[in-house]
A and B are shown apart, each in its own frame.
Chain A
Amino acid sequence: MSEGISTKRLVSRLALLVVGMFGFGFLLVPIYDVMCDAFGINGKTRGTAYEAGAEVIDESRSIRVQFVSTNAEGMTWSFGPSASQLVMHPGETREMIFTAHNPTDKPMVAQAIPSVSPSKAAAYFHKTECFCFTQQVLQPGERVEMPVRFIVDAALPGEVQRLTLSYTLFDVTERMAASLDLASMQPHN
């Protein structure tokens, strides 16, 4: 047997390393979110409203913003933008109205998940207001108009002339059923 630390001590240190690495696996989740946030990876946009400062409007450039909506599997609502695209200058604040309709006879909760393509543009696409920041509760047959207000940052890389804002609408009724009493909920907006 050679010198050094005792086997008991060594094993407890290794066990600690195992526990630490198990924790690190879970730590990768917030790290991943921070990285996506910082680098605009995967078209993830911020989940909170952007505080608009004094924006400089760059009249010399025009950006075409396209809107896409998708229903996730099993989602029965009709959901879509009022126009498929608009043209805007960087720095300008514009608005697009999305309409959602719950055709079923049950109250339902939905969550829209935004994504911007090309993904490197995501960090430059700021939403000052978005229905995706909250969940939408719709009573049977209810129809609602939901605005998204956004600014394209003047620092958007020059080669990006067109970007797509895509929403996928997920049915989260079951997920929320435990914590919400649907009948008593007031719809948003």
Chain B
Amino acid sequence: MSAVIDHHHADHAHGPAKGLMRWVLTTNHKDIGSMYLWFSFAMFLLGGSMAMVIRAELFQPGLQLVQPEFFNQMTTTHGLIMVFGAVMPAFVGLANWMIPLMIGAPDMALPRMNNFSFWLLPAAFGLLLSTLFMEGGGPNFGWTFYAPLSTTYAPPSVTFFIFAIHLAGISSIMGAINIIATVLNLRAPGMTLMKMPLFVWTWLITAFLLIAVMPVLAGAVTMMLMDIHFGTSFFNAAGGGDPVMFQHIFWFFGHPEVYIMILPAFGAVSMIIPAFSRKPLFGYTSMVYATGAIAFLSFAVWAHHMFTVGIPLTGELFFMYATMLIAVPTGVKVFNWVSTMFRGSLTFEAPMLFSVAFVILFTIGGFSGLMLAMAPADFQYHDTYFVVAHFHYVLVPGAIFGIFASAYYWLPKWTGFMYDEVLAKTHFWMSFVGMNLAFFPMHFVGLAGMPRRIPDYNMMFANFNMVSSVGAFMFGATQLLFLYIVIKCIRGGPKAAANPWEGAEGLEWTVPSPAPYHTFTTPPEVK
């Protein structure tokens, strides 16, 4: 963990090592970033296949394909893998690749820890996935793993699940420490905090959120471990504990966690929209403060996930108003994005398409969030498909579209080639239509009372569920096209200039494409 920030690369500049060991032993931020991105994409496809199982079962009412026990394992592992295995590592990968390039640093501040934090992830998810093949099956208690479902009534494999969460958590914490150290200590001369690109800003704030809440999650699963194996009663009423306390601790982690998954996307979109509007970002300073405000408020709203468990009226009111308050800084951001585009000279290449869709669809997800924030209304919406529609609207066109936009925007920098624009636009439109077909009807079935996490449903929900399933299959299959586009771009294509985008600004576009293995070994001067 020693600070490797000296210039030992400078005296013997060299390229990557050869063979497999390059990837096992690498401390290069670009290699590690690529590994993070590939890992998260593999997890995205795996978690997506689980979603396909869920949607296939829900294609028609009745039990067709899987048993309810397995269905529960699918909903649970789908959630866990998408949150901890796909979205979070993808953003860490983008951070690894882009933050040193954006702030003019030669590498991350702690390159060896960087390697370790990546390689913990395959261990964590190998462990998590192995539980699916164990006696009693994998985790089946929902991604929120409420006690006592995850303690008293859990399958025996829950211990492996707990350690998988520990490992993934340690990995995230180390990644966050690394990013903070890099951003605070390795900026090029002249790169003041308020000159940093917004992706760097949002990641800095996200990293602090991670450091604040991942240890609380580790504490929660440790308490579960102790309840299960060491006879404590944190969540066991028989011994004076309280299962409701689990929900408080979990959501104290869980709500900041949802912002951890969206803030880096805010940052990326805040860089892409100005590039394709050929205008500077509208309200840079307010963007920074709005991000800070969202992060700060995220610690004071957790009980809005628990309106129905029985909290005092004053508590319901407090958490309801605090939650609605978050709409203010979020509204500032949406306003700034729209104002950036206003009277801009817009072009709609794939990164911009994903970013514009991000703004529109994330706002829809934000509005359904406001509906859920109202405590009395939430009594009806709680645990219905309306909630599923809400968080998929903020996570799929929010986090995932943000990642796609980033990937297309920086692919020329990573590979040195332009991706196939026609295929990329096809990828966008198929994803856009598929995603809306899949998730929009869920609002309706949710409001009509269809509960979440069930393998069977009332006949009255049949048509909308079929539409959802068709949309989900379309969205899922389209992601294979994305894989093809990326591989095609790595293998060749039109040569990308150092700055392939007319309106893009930032230090990352001053280095050649593809970015050399070592960049900014002498720091650039920022005016």
Interface membership of B87, Cβ < 8 A: no
Least Cβ distance of A32 to chain B in Å? 5
Interface membership of B63, Cβ < 8 A: no
Q: Is the CB of B249 within 8 A of A120?
A: no
Residues of chain A within 8 A of B506, CB atoms compared: none
Residues of chain A within 8 A of B239, CB atoms compared: 111, 170, 172, 175
- Scoring A8, A25, A113 by chain B CB atoms within 10 A of each residue's CB, the highest score goes to A25
Interface membership of A6, Cβ < 8 A: yes
Residues of chain A within 8 A of B177, CB atoms compared: 11, 14-15, 18
Cβ proximity bits B218-236 to A, threshold 8 Å, 1 near / 0 not = 1110110000000100100
Q: Is the interface of B mostly helix, strand, loop or mixed?
A: helix
Q: Is the CB of B5 within 8 A of A28?
A: no
Known: A4-B184, A28-B252. A72 touches B215 (CB 8 A): no
Known: A11-B1, A41-B312, A42-B310. A25 touches B219 (CB 8 A): yes
Known: A2-B189, A4-B185, A32-B245. A72 touches B216 (CB 8 A): no
Q: Which residue of chain B has its CB nearest to the CB of A3?
A: B185
Interface membership of A85, Cβ < 8 A: no
Q: Is the CB of A175 within 8 A of B231?
A: yes
Q: Is the CB of A1 within 8 A of B523?
A: yes
Interface membership of A10, Cβ < 8 A: yes
Q: Is the CB of B240 within 8 A of A113?
A: yes
Least Cβ distance of B176 to chain A in Å? 8
Known: A2-B185, A10-B184, A11-B1. A172 touches B216 (CB 8 A): no
Q: Is the CB of A10 within 8 A of B249?
A: no
Least Cβ distance of A11 to chain B in Å? 6
- Scoring A7, A28, A171 by chain B CB atoms within 10 A of each residue's CB, the highest score goes to A7
Residues of chain A within 8 A of B315, CB atoms compared: 41
Interface size of A in residues (CB-CB distance below 8 Å): 40
Interface membership of B311, Cβ < 8 A: yes
Residues of chain A within 8 A of B5, CB atoms compared: 1, 7
A-facing residues in B205-262 (Cβ within 8 Å): 211-220, 222-223, 231, 234, 237-240, 242, 244-245, 248-249, 252
Contact of B185 among A7, A21, A36, A72 (CB under 8 A): A7
Least Cβ distance of A35 to chain B in Å? 9
Q: Is the CB of A7 within 8 A of B312?
A: no
Residues of chain B within 8 A of A19, CB atoms compared: 215
Known: A7-B110, A113-B238. A21 touches B244 (CB 8 A): no
Least Cβ distance of A113 to chain B in Å? 5
Complex Cα–Cα for A19 and B211 (A): 9
Least Cβ distance of B333 to chain A in Å? 27
Interface membership of A168, Cβ < 8 A: yes
Interface membership of A67, Cβ < 8 A: no
A-facing residues in B421-447 (Cβ within 8 Å): none
Complex Cα–Cα for A40 and B136 (A): 39
Complex Cα–Cα for A170 and B187 (A): 59
Q: Is the CB of A42 within 8 A of B173?
A: no
Least Cβ distance of A158 to chain B in Å? 16
B-facing residues in A1-57 (Cβ within 8 Å): 1-2, 4, 6-8, 10-11, 14-15, 17-26, 28-29, 32, 36, 39, 41-42, 44, 47
Complex Cα–Cα for A127 and B133 (A): 51
Least Cβ distance of B280 to chain A in Å? 24
A-facing residues in B137-188 (Cβ within 8 Å): 173, 176-177, 180-181, 184-187
Q: Is the CB of B180 within 8 A of A14?
A: yes
Complex Cα–Cα for A44 and B310 (A): 12
Q: Which residue of chain A has its CB nearest to the CB of B186?
A: A1
Residues of chain B within 8 A of A14, CB atoms compared: 176-177, 180-181, 211
Residues of chain B within 8 A of A2, CB atoms compared: 184-187, 189, 191
23 residue pairs of the A-B complex, CB under 8 angstroms, read: A1-B186, A1-B187, A4-B184, A4-B185, A6-B185, A7-B110, A10-B184, A14-B177, A15-B177, A18-B211, A20-B215, A21-B212, A21-B215, A24-B215, A26-B219, A28-B245, A28-B248, A29-B234, A41-B315, A72-B237, A119-B310, A120-B312, A175-B239
With A6-B3, A120-B312 known, 11 other A-B pairs at CB within 8 A are A1-B5, A2-B186, A11-B109, A14-B181, A18-B211, A21-B214, A22-B218, A25-B218, A25-B223, A28-B219, A170-B237
